[in-house]
Amino acid sequence: MGRTIPLPMLILAVLGFCYMLLPILVVVLAGLTAGEFLTFPPEGLSLRWVVAFLQSEKYLSAFFFSFRLALLTMIVATILGTAAALFLSRTRFIGRGAMRAFFLSPVVLPGVVIGFSLFAFYISTGIGLTRTIWGLWIGHILYSTPYVIGTVGAALASYDVSLDEAARSLGASPMRTFRKITLPNISQGIQAGSIFAFIVSFGQFEVSLFLSAPNAEPLPIAMYNSLRYKFDPSAAAAGIFAIILVTASVLLTNRLVNIGRLLEKK
Amino acid sequence: MSSVEFQGVSKKFGGTVAVEKTDIAIEQGEFFSMLGPSGCGKSTTLRMLAGFIAPTTGRILVNGRDITDLPPEARGIGIVFQNYAIFPHMNVFDNIAFGLVERKQDKATIKRKVEATLAQVGLTGYEGRFERELSGGQKQRVALARVLVIEPEILLLDEPLSALDKQMREEMKFWIKDIQKSIGITTVYVTHDQSEALTMSDRIAVMNEGRMLQIGSPVDIYEKPSSRFIAEFIGDSNLLRASVTELTDTGCVVDLGEGVAVPARVSDAVSVAPGEPVGLLLRPEMVRLMPAHDGEKPRLSGKIVDEVYQGALRRYRVAAGTHELVVEVPNRPELVRMAAGTPVDLFWSAESGVAVP
Ligand SMILES: Nc1ncnc2c1ncn2[C@@H]1O[C@H](COP(=O)(O)OP(=O)(O)OP(=O)(O)O)[C@@H](O)[C@H]1O
Ligand SMILES: [Mg+2]
């Protein structure tokens, strides 16, 4: 057994890893501080801010609101994104490339732009979505769906269409073919896309800033608002829970996917 | 009534014509091959029959029934793909059972039929395997079993052997032909390999650029090709420049230049006229090569250019006047070897030469 990665690459990889993990470490340690203010390094370790978070009506409701919002966003984004990816990969027409780029544009557009455009749209059309839960949900769906289109699109790109053709000529209708053949073979892409959608929605800040209703703030907005007035370590404690939730959802899905593999092998 | 009938079928993709107006009639139980170079429209023709592509013009009939507008699932046609298209998330049993499940047959019947088909293709005991646990040849068998188990009216095979190694290909060639014969199922086979087409088919359609150039038995196609393209595409060929001097009952007489006149046959599919320039097709194995000597008058005389050793054969290149041709000689010790420069005489029987326009 030899090392298969050249040493310089390995060093770079470790550095990159540290670079990505450091902010997380800072948040976790800051949330565990024993001091009165949000500082780093922390002034001694304690769970007092974690307890404060768990007792804070404002943070807890924001946390669970974000959770529900991300879950509902994930469901709609997964359905829309999968349908869009299928349409883009299965049809041939002039302007398909442009359409794909358009569908994926929310990934590259700054969130501020999307948030502001929707905000302006809601206000100018007066369709009653300005600063409502529904308006916020729509914004999150718009922002998350491209991630599903991306991952499902990648799964479909390597999908062998003759599998579908074989199923059709063996007697399966288009709908049955999709359910019994296509779907099981692109499910990994769909699952990856839906985790992405969940995480992206859960951490979304800019779109929420413009669209969230005053009585229903998602967690990032709640943290931002409280930090504006008070340098309160319970925001970092809230961050700890957000990190735990996201990590757990990734690990859980990973596990589910692998269990699926194992079951298949019998 | 033909088993499969194409009536004026053509296919255009945008501006490009993939298949030109085609009429074919394939008989019940026939093994019909479509042979041609890459991009000539073989797969397109097959896929129109399977229902994956709608023809631009024309009708397709199966056992007299017009299926042109039926979706693939309503056609009762089985197709085996080049890459087999085994469902990767199902084991061998479920793959083969798929068509039966779609036909809502009961569990016991499905089990019985799948097992019988597995035995037929020699894969008993492989029920639980997945695609990634099968060799190329085994995948091929599963793909065929999956189709045969639903007892389709027509069997379609699109280059089913091209993903296998040479030895496996030889073996599967005969195996597929045997199964096809024993069931007596009408089969349309697509290939660009002439040896597959010659060995397996009852009839071959040679295609080029979307057109069926000649349809006939392997013997017809090989021994009386109707064009230069077919003569050169199938087997090795010598095409000598010639011109028709007169027509006869069996074909014609052609002039090879310098006063050499030889008889030649002509495909029924074409007609030639005196004075017309043609190619005289001589297969390398049909020509007899002898060191020059007095006696029987040769058809041509020339000199050996070089010799290539091929194990079972020796291939000689011979220059005869303005012509150059390749001659194959069986590698037997009693046949003398001829060095470059040796003067030689060339003989062939009257039936061996074919005039192709
Ligand atoms: N979906 C399509 N859209 C546009 N052109 C196509 C399509 N399918 C095939 N063609 C074109 O039609 C022609 C015939 O293609 P076809 O696949 O039938 O060839 P083939 O004889 O099967 O070749 P091969 O031996 O390489 O498989 C080709 O020029 C091909 O580029
Ligand atoms: Mg093809």
DSSP string, A97-133: HHHHHHHHHHHHS-HHHHHHHHHHHHHHHT-S-TTSH
User: What pLDDT is stored for residue B68 in this prediction?
Assistant: 95
Within a domain: residue A261?
A: yes
- Beta-bridge partner residues of B288: B347
Within a domain: residue A45?
A: no
Within a domain: residue A228?
A: yes
Within a domain: residue A235?
A: yes
Give residue B210 CA to ligand 1 midpoint distance, Å: 9
DSSP reduced 3-state for A196? helix
User: What pLDDT is stored for residue B250 in this prediction?
Assistant: 84
Within a domain: residue A216?
A: yes
Long-range contacts (CB closer than 8 Å, 24 or more residues apart) made by B21-28:
B21/B57, B21/B58, B22/B58, B22/B211, B22/B212, B24/B205, B24/B212, B24/B215, B26/B2, B26/B186, B26/B188, B26/B203, B27/B2, B27/B3, B27/B186, B28/B2, B28/B3, B28/B184, B28/B186
Rounded to whole angstroms, how far apart are CA atoms B126 and B130? Answer: 9
Lowest-confidence segment of A113-122, B94-103, B190-199, B297-306 by average pLDDT: B297-306
Within a domain: residue A69?
A: yes
The answer to whether residue A256 scores a pLDDT higher than 80 is no
Residue A261 binned pLDDT confidence (cut-offs 50, 70, 90): low
Say yes or no: A228 contacts chain B, CB-CB below 8 A: no
DSSP reduced 3-state for A45? strand
The answer to whether residue A195 scores a pLDDT higher than 70 is yes
Q: What's the sign of the alpha-carbon dihedral B20, B24, B29, B35?
A: negative
Give residue B84 CA to ligand 1 midpoint distance, Å: 19
User: What pLDDT is stored for residue B119 in this prediction?
Assistant: 93
Q: Write out chain A residues lying below 8 Å of B51, CB-based.
A: 168-169
| Residue of A159, A164, A169, A180 to mutate, interface with B, max B Cβ within 10 Å | A169
Cβ A169–B89 below 8 Å, yes or no?
no
Q: How far is CA A208 from CA A24, A62, A65, A204, B113, in A?
A: 22, 12, 12, 7, 59
Q: Write out chain B residues lying below 8 Å of A173, CB-based.
A: 73
Residue A1 binned pLDDT confidence (cut-offs 50, 70, 90): very low
Residue A171 binned pLDDT confidence (cut-offs 50, 70, 90): very high
Lowest-confidence segment of A142-146, A231-235, B103-107, B346-350 by average pLDDT: A231-235
Residue A260 binned pLDDT confidence (cut-offs 50, 70, 90): low
Span B278-290, average pLDDT: 90
Q: Which helix (H) or strand (E) holds B230?
A: helix B228-233
Residue B237 binned pLDDT confidence (cut-offs 50, 70, 90): confident
Q: Which helix (H) or strand (E) holds B280?
A: strand B277-282
Within a domain: residue A26?
A: no
Q: Which of B71, B77, B98 sits opposite A167 (nearest CB)?
A: B98
Total tally of structural domains belonging to chain A? 1
Lowest-confidence segment of B52-61, B135-144, B258-267, B279-288 by average pLDDT: B258-267
Span A175-203, average pLDDT: 92
Angle between helices A133-157 and A183-203 in degrees, nearest 10: 140
User: What pLDDT is stored for residue A266 in this prediction?
Assistant: 34
Which residues have CB under 8 Å from B68's CB, separation 6+? Answer: B54, B55, B58, B59, B60
Say yes or no: A58 contacts chain B, CB-CB below 8 A: no
User: What pLDDT is stored for residue B269 in this prediction?
Assistant: 81
Q: What is the overall mean pLDDT for chain B?
A: 91
Which residue range is the domain that position A209 belongs to? 56-265
Give residue B78 CA to ligand 1 midpoint distance, Å: 21
User: What pLDDT is stored for residue B22 in this prediction?
Assistant: 93
Rounded to whole angstroms, how far apart are CA atoms B99 and A50? Answer: 58
Residues with CB under 6 A from ligand 1: B 13, 18, 36, 38-44, 192
The answer to whether residue A264 scores a pLDDT higher than 80 is no
- Kindly list the structural domains of chain B, giving each domain's residue range(s) and its CATH number in brackets, ordered by start: 4-223 (3.40.50.300), 228-356 (2.40.50.100)
Within a domain: residue A222?
A: yes
Say yes or no: B89 contacts chain A, CB-CB below 8 A: yes
Q: What is the overall mean pLDDT for chain A?
A: 88
Q: Which range among B55-59, B221-225, B276-280 has the greatest average pLDDT? A: B55-59
Give the alpha-carbon dihedral of B322, B327, B333, B339, to 10 degrees: 30
In single-letter form, the type of residue at position B357 comes to P
Residue A107 binned pLDDT confidence (cut-offs 50, 70, 90): confident
User: What pLDDT is stored for residue A150 in this prediction?
Assistant: 92
Cβ B87–A166 below 8 Å, yes or no?
yes
Cβ A168–B146 below 8 Å, yes or no?
no
Task: Tell me: cis bond preceding B55? Omega within 30 of 0 counts.
Answer: no
Q: Which of A166, A171, A264 sits opposite B103 (nearest CB)?
A: A171
Angle at alpha carbon of residue A261, lines to A260 and A264, rounded to 5° = 85
Q: What is the pLDDT of residues A5-64, one digit of tens each?
A: 888 999 999 999 999 999 888 888 888 888 888 877 888 888 888 888 888 888 899 999
Span B343-350, average pLDDT: 89
φ and ψ at residue B58, rounded to 5 degrees: 95, 175
User: What pLDDT is stored for residue A91 in this prediction?
Assistant: 87
> Cβ distance B319 to B305 under 8 Å?
yes
Say yes or no: B257 contacts chain A, CB-CB below 8 A: no
* pTM for the model: 0.83
Q: What is the pLDDT of residues B158-178, one digit of tens each?
A: 999 988 888 888 888 999 999
User: What pLDDT is stored for residue B7 in this prediction?
Assistant: 96
User: What pLDDT is stored for residue B70 in this prediction?
Assistant: 95
The answer to whether residue A3 scores a pLDDT higher than 70 is no
The answer to whether residue A259 scores a pLDDT higher than 50 is yes
Q: Name which of B139, B100, B107 is nearest B123 in CA terms.
A: B139
Region label for A38, one of left (φ > 0), alpha (ψ between -120 and 50) or beta (otherwise) = beta
In single-letter form, the type of residue at position B160 comes to P
Question: How far off is chain A from B92, nearest CA to CA, in Å?
Answer: 12
Residue A265 binned pLDDT confidence (cut-offs 50, 70, 90): very low
User: What pLDDT is stored for residue B219 in this prediction?
Assistant: 93
Higher-confidence position of B164 and B85: B85
> Cβ distance A73 to A199 under 8 Å?
no
Q: What is the CATH classification number for the domain harbouring A173?
A: 1.10.3720.10
Find how far residue A103's CA is from the centre of its chain.
17
- What is the DSSP code (8-state) at residue B298? P
Span B120-138, average pLDDT: 93
Give the count of beta carbons closer than 10 Å to the beta carbon of residue B327. Answer: 24
